[in-house]
Chain A
Amino acid sequence: MREIIQILMAALGSVGFAMLFQLHGRKLIIAGIGGGISWIVYLLVGKLGNDMLALFCASFVVASIAEVGARIQKTPVLVLEVPMLIPLIPGADLYRLMFRIISLGIRNSMDYLVRLSQEVLLIAASIILVSTIVSVIVNIHSKIVVEKYM
Chain B
Amino acid sequence: MNPIDTRTIKSILDAGEIILKSGGEVNRVEDTITRMCLAYGFLRADVFTITSSIVVTVQTAQGEMITQTRRIYGYDTNLQRVHHINQLARQVCDSPLPIHSLEEEIEKIKNTPTLSLKKNMMVHALIAAVFSVFYGGGLRECCIGALIGVGLCLLLHYGESVIQNPLLRYFFCSAIGSLGICLFYHGGIDFNREAVALGNIMLLIPGLALTNAIRDMMNGDTVSGLLRLCDSLLRALAIAAGFISIMTLIGGFLS
Contact = CB atoms under 8 A, between A and B. Distances in A.
B79 A94 contact: no
Interface residues on B, range: 35 or more
Contacts of A102: 237, 240-241, 244
Given A16-B127, A20-B123, A10 B79 contact: no
B210 A16 contact: no
A102 B102 CA distance: 50
A76 B135 CA distance: 31
B24 A76 contact: yes
A22 B199 CA distance: 20
Interface string B91-132: 000000000000000000000101100011001101100110
A11 to B, nearest CB: 9
Interface string B71-105: 00000011111110011000000000000000000
Main secondary structure, interface of A, reads helix
Contact of A98 (B82, B130, B239): B239
B9 to A, nearest CB: 23
B131 A23 contact: no
Interface bracket on A: 35 or more
Contact of B239 (A20, A95, A120, A124): A95
B78 A22 contact: yes
A45 interface: no
Interface string B29-54: 00000000000000000000000000
Interface in A3-30: 5-6, 9-10, 12-13, 16-24
9 contacts: A13-B127, A13-B131, A20-B123, A21-B77, A85-B211, A89-B207, A94-B205, A95-B236, A95-B243
Interface of B: 23-25, 28, 77-83, 86-87, 112, 114-115, 119-120, 123-124, 126-127, 130-131, 133-135, 198, 201-202, 205-208, 210-211, 214-215, 218-219, 236-237, 239-241, 243-244, 255
Given A9-B130, A18-B79, A123-B214, 4 more contacts: A9-B134, A16-B130, A22-B81, A75-B86
